[in-house]
Amino acid sequence: MTAFPAVQSETGHLRSVIVCAPGPAQARLTPSTCDAMLFDDVMWLEQAQTDHRRFTTLLEAEGIEVIDLRDLLIDVLAIAPARKALVAARVTADTVGIGLCDDLRAWCDDLGPARLADLLMGGLTVDEAPDVSGLTAQVLGPEGLLVAPLPNLMFPRDSSLCVNGGVIRGTMRYAARGGETAILKAIHDHHPRFREAAHPWPVPGLAPLEGGDVMVLSRSTLLIGMGERTAPQAVGQMARALFDAGQVQRVIACTMPKGRASMHLDTVFTLCDRDRATAYPEVAEAITCHSIRPASAPGAIDVTAETTPFLNVVAEALGQPGLRVIATGGDRYLRAREQWDDGNNVLAIGPGKVLAYDRNTRTNTLLRKAGIEVITFPGGELGRGRGGPRCLSCPLVRDAAGD
């Protein structure tokens, strides 16, 4: 198995993928905290875990290597410099208070890697910490959170992405996901799995860019959505970094309507094969595109407005005369429901073969009629954080579309 990132398409055979099973972080969700944590509702955790195991079992049955992010983190926390840096990033005076910071860091340093991984991902309350006092602890009370949980790590697609042989950390739009960046930095910088990876954009800027908006169309071309979660300022910076590193030659920046239902490009459009895609027409037809290419001046980019519709631009970039688009199923009411339930957020595991949530029956039926092999699993609980099979996965190794 290839030990380093090598993602060269959206629909080539998937070889290795990172996931993150639900656990302690999702157990912290309550009706009063869901909104701030970017979830629509609390989860039935045990069912979500069962459904996620079904997801990973299906991947493994296809010969795909499945790596849980928690296991990567445990490996990294056994490395002293990585452990120290990550604890310092997650346990700060801003989070635990000036009186607790040093003592709590020292306590964390004595924990085993597995226990510390659960703390860094799942959070820490006042009464779970050792003999804490001070203003912060007294104001928060025994069940107050000193270290915030990171339930959205369940969707590893957004906090990091692999482009060809390089790996890039996302810059998350909302504070609820900010802590994910430190964890991914530790993994990318210290885990042996990423030792040979290129880091074309090692220090992302402050402008947000999330992996759910990024699609690897080919070895030379990226497609990036710009909606609720990704800003054009970040797209320009990443494009320039990738050009300088020789990773790609073109970035297609897609301006999208902003909204929670369409927070990322992959909530309204995903590729199922080299010439077939599923899309939510109400949003996809409103997308406009600009192509970004290297400019001759150092540090500059060349930007050209595309005059053809979004789907035509994608087809041209893929070298296809056109895309066969399978729209979200049903009338406008059912289409809106199935898009909300991640009907268009499928994960291609090979050409013409996708994983999808079972609840989106009309869209799945249309995909099958179009010749796509659709493998389903339950998503009623997993989807409460607004993510489907593509969101639940971060490809580490994927073949080019023609391989």
d(CA 214, CA 170): 10
C-beta separation of 154 from 22 below 8 A: yes
Q: Compute φ and ψ for 189, nearest 5 degrees.
A: -80, -30
Give the alpha-carbon dihedral of 47, 52, 55, 60, to 10 degrees.
-130
Q: Output b/e per residue, 253-266; b: 16+ Cβ within 10 A.
A: bbebeeeeebbbbb
The answer to whether 77 and 117 have CB atoms below 8 angstroms apart is yes
Q: Which of 336, 382, 400 is nearest to 363 (CA)?
A: 336
Of the candidates 268, 371, 379, the residue with the CA atom closest to the CA atom of residue 324:
371
At 152, which helix (H) or strand (E)?
Answer: none
Q: Please state, in angstroms and as integers, the Cα–Cα distance from residue 372 to each residue in 161, 325, 353, 355, 383, following that order.
A: 25, 12, 6, 10, 22
Q: Tell whether the torsion through CA atoms of 274, 276, 277 and 281 is positive or negative.
A: positive
CA 104 to chain centroid = 30
Active-site residue (options: 162, 254, 391, 394): 391
Which residues on neighbouring strands pair with residue 310, listed in sequence order?
none
Question: Does the annotation mark 101 as catalytic?
Answer: no
* Angstrom distance (rounded) from CA 350 to CA 352: 6
Here the tokens at position 79 are: 């490395």
Quote the distance between the C-alpha of residue 263 and its chain's center: 12
Tell me the catalytic residues: 391
